[in-house]
């Protein structure tokens, strides 16, 4: 069939209005990069803004806090303003700060208010482990046993969550709900609007981990009434390893005291008065704790320029087109090799696909040897992320063809079926 040919892939690329953005990125030599849902690639714009911020330190010294193209003192707020459209946030609702887990600790400390029988936190068994570690530690700090007070919704199949099960578990004993927007293994996108409404109707604060959704799917957190959200910026946002995270606080909570207070949560005009009585910012800025990590924020500035130019609707459209095409090729070319598609096949999937196979770990090693960069997830998952900004339909075609050759010739058999230190 014509859609399974290289010429068809090349024609799709010719029609792609985002194709030129691939030239914005540094591609590892002789590779096709399919791991942007773990770590996005460096762009020339991110490199530029990193060098600009480095130069401001070099040339301005301490005056870089208030002078230069990107004054450091206001950097978290300015980057937050640029990120806000990606999550559907309004003025002042988004701040660039911390990391995923430190922001989660901050938010749970601020929103988890056990009272009477209302003591439990509702999460899920498929969530990323760091979120669960944080929730357990917050329960312990309040004197509660996580085995009794952390509810983890069961998955019916080990891949997906059922929103009905989640809503049914929102009982009068639940004081807080924390869920992933996109499941990191299967790529399932939860119905955040529906879940938020259910929590709001029951007067339970609800927040979402957007690590695998921001920059890949659209959000309307303000419109939905979501209480809070948190995320990293080094996956689909391409901010670089360890780049500064972000958080969202709905404006209905403006003026709420942060659970973990720190001096950068102060109002800007009073921060340097050094008063021991904190005067917190009246918006999401109040939830900052420490001094901004300026050099880790710098690449995010350049990366966000591209999202501003394109808009999330077009990014999502191309992302779905790429994964649709990859799914079609997988079904056509790999049907005989024992793969199972572990992600939703409709539009309730995020920006990556999950292929399951008993030999997944060594198949990933064979792919890397052949110049394809995948991601392995225990116990049997191969994650492939064709990213809208820097992957092409040709990349998708070559990836599936390489995988077909590896399976047909059993090239994976020379590797041990065991994950590396960093999967």
Retrieve residue 314's tokens.
């077009």
Strands (E), 142-290: 150-153, 174-180, 206-209, 228-231, 246-249
Residue carrying the six token digits 């670089």: 240
In degrees and rounded to multiples of 5, residue 7 shows phi and psi of -60, -35
- Which residues on adjacent β-strands are paired with residue 188? 349
Can you tell me the distance from the alpha carbon of 237 to that of 218, in angstroms, rounded to the nearest whole number?
13
Residue 264 among known ligand-binding residues: no
Residue 130 among known ligand-binding residues: yes
For residue 117, what are the contacts with CB-CB under 8 A and spacing of at least 6? 172, 173
Residue 212 among known ligand-binding residues: yes
Residue 26 among known ligand-binding residues: no
CA atoms within 13 A on the CB side of 49: 26
- How does DSSP classify residue 320? H
Residues in the chain: 423
- How does DSSP classify residue 188? B
What b/e readout covers 354-392, taking b as 16+ CB neighbours within 10 angstroms? bbbbebbbbbbbbbbebebbbbbbeebbbbbbbbbbbbb
Residue 291 among known ligand-binding residues: yes
Cβ burial, residue 324 (10 Å; 0-12/13-18/19+): middle
Residue 171 among known ligand-binding residues: no
Residue 378 among known ligand-binding residues: no
Can you tell me the distance from the alpha carbon of 231 to that of 292, in angstroms, rounded to the nearest whole number?
16
Residue 5 among known ligand-binding residues: no
Q: Is the peptide bond before 379 cis (omega within 30 degrees of 0)?
A: yes
Residue 234 among known ligand-binding residues: yes
How far are the Cα atoms of 133, 184, 212, 306 from residue 189, in angstroms, in the given order? 22, 10, 9, 24
In degrees and rounded to multiples of 5, residue 373 shows phi and psi of -100, 100
User: What proportions of the chain, in percent to the nearest 5, are helix, strand and coil?
Assistant: 45, 15, 40
Q: DSSP readout, 124-150?
A: ETTS-HHHHHHHHHHHHHTT--HHHHE
For residue 364, what are the contacts with CB-CB under 8 A and spacing of at least 6? 374, 375, 376, 382
Task: Mark the binding-site residues for pyridoxal 5'-phosphate, compressed into ranges.
Answer: 100-101, 128-131, 209, 212, 234, 263, 291
Task: Mark the binding-site residues, compressed into ranges.
Answer: 100-101, 128-131, 209, 212, 234, 263, 291
């Amino acid at each position: 069939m014509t859609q399974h040919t290289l010429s068809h892939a090349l024609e799709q690329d010719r029609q792609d209005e985002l194709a030129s953005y691939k030239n914005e990125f540094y591609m590892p030599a002789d590779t096709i990069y399919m791991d942007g849902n773990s770590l996005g690639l460096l762009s020339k714009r991110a490199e530029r803004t990193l060098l600009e911020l480095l130069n401001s330190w070099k040339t301005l010294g301490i005056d870089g806090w208030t002078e230069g193209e990107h004054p450091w003192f206001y950097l978290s707020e300015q980057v937050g303003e640029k990120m806000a459209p990606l999550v559907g946030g309004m003025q002042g609702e988004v701040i660039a700060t911390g990391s995923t887990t430190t922001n989660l600790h901050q938010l749970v400390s601020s929103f988890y208010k056990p009272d009477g029988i209302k003591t439990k936190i509702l999460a899920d068994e498929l969530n990323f482990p760091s979120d669960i570690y944080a929730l357990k530690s917050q329960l312990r700090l309040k004197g509660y046993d996580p085995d009794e007070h952390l509810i983890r919704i069961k998955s019916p199949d080990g891949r997906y969550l059922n929103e009905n099960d989640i809503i049914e578990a929102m009982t009068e004993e639940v004081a807080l709900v924390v869920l992933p927007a996109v499941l990191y293994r299967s790529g399932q996108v939860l119905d955040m609007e529906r879940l938020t409404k259910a929590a709001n109707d029951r007067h339970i604060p609800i927040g979402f981990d957007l690590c695998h959704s921001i920059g890949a799917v659209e959000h309307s957190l303000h419109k939905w009434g979501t209480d809070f959200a948190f995320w990293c910026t080094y996956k689909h946002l391409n901010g670089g390893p360890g780049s500064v995270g972000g958080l969202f606080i709905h404006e209905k909570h403006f003026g709420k005291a942060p659970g973990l207070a720190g001096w950068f949560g102060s109002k800007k005009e009073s921060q340097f008065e050094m008063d021991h009585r904190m005067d917190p910012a009246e918006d999401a800025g109040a939830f900052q704790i420490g001094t901004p990590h300026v050099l880790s924020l710098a690449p995010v500035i350049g990366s966000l320029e591209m999202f501003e130019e394109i808009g999330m609707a077009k990014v999502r459209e191309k992302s779905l087109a790429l994964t649709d095409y990859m799914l079609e090729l997988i079904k056509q070319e790999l049907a005989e090799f024992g793969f199972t598609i572990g992600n939703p096949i409709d539009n309730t999937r995020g920006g990556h696909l999950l292929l399951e196979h008993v030999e997944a770990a060594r198949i990933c090693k064979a792919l890397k040897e052949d110049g394809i960069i995948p991601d392995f997830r225990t116990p049997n998952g191969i994650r492939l992320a064709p990213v809208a900004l820097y992957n092409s339909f040709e990349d998708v075609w070559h990836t599936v063809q390489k995988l077909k050759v590896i399976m047909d010739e059993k090239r994976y058999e020379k590797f041990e079926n065991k994950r590396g230190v960093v999967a």
